[in-house]
């Protein structure tokens, strides 16, 4: 592991931890109430960004973009499914 890679992994780790803390703070604002859809969307967006950092930096898939896109599609699919499950009853 060269120093450039080490610094990049350290920066990615900091971002991942910060996203986890922000998601925890956002979800802790509503203790026993339902989480508003805007807050849930923000948490899901942070989840996708966190997955992207993990896939590209920690799994070293920057050189294999097809596999990285397939792995990133998985959390995106579930985020869309969660938002659709919440949005459909709200619209009807």
- CA neighbor of 47 nearest in space, from 76, 10, 84: 76
Contact at 8 Å (CB) between 32 and 63?
A: no
Q: How many helical (H) and strand (E) elements, i.e. helices and strands, does the chain have?
A: 3, 0
User: Which residue has better confidence, 30 or 83?
Assistant: 83
Predicted TM-score of the model (pTM): 0.73
Interval 54-77: pLDDT, tens: 898 888 888 899 999 999 999 999
Q: How many CA atoms lie within 13 A of 17 on its CB side?
A: 6
- CA neighbor of 50 nearest in space, from 13, 4, 25, 6: 13
- Give residue 7's pLDDT band: very low, low, confident or very high (50, 70, 90): confident
Alpha carbon separation from 72 to 27, 65, 88 (Å, rounded)? 23, 10, 24
Residue 4's pLDDT is 57
């Amino acid at each position: 592991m060269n120093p450039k890679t080490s610094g990049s992994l350290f920066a990615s780790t900091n971002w991942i931890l910060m996203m986890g803390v922000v998601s925890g703070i956002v979800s802790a604002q509503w203790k026993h109430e339902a989480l508003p859809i805007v807050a849930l969307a923000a948490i899901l967006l942070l989840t996708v960004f966190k997955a992207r950092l993990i896939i590209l930096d920690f799994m070293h898939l920057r050189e294999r973009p097809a596999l990285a896109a397939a792995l990133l599609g998985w959390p995106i699919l579930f985020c869309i499914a969660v938002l659709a499950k919440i949005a459909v009853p709200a619209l009807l």
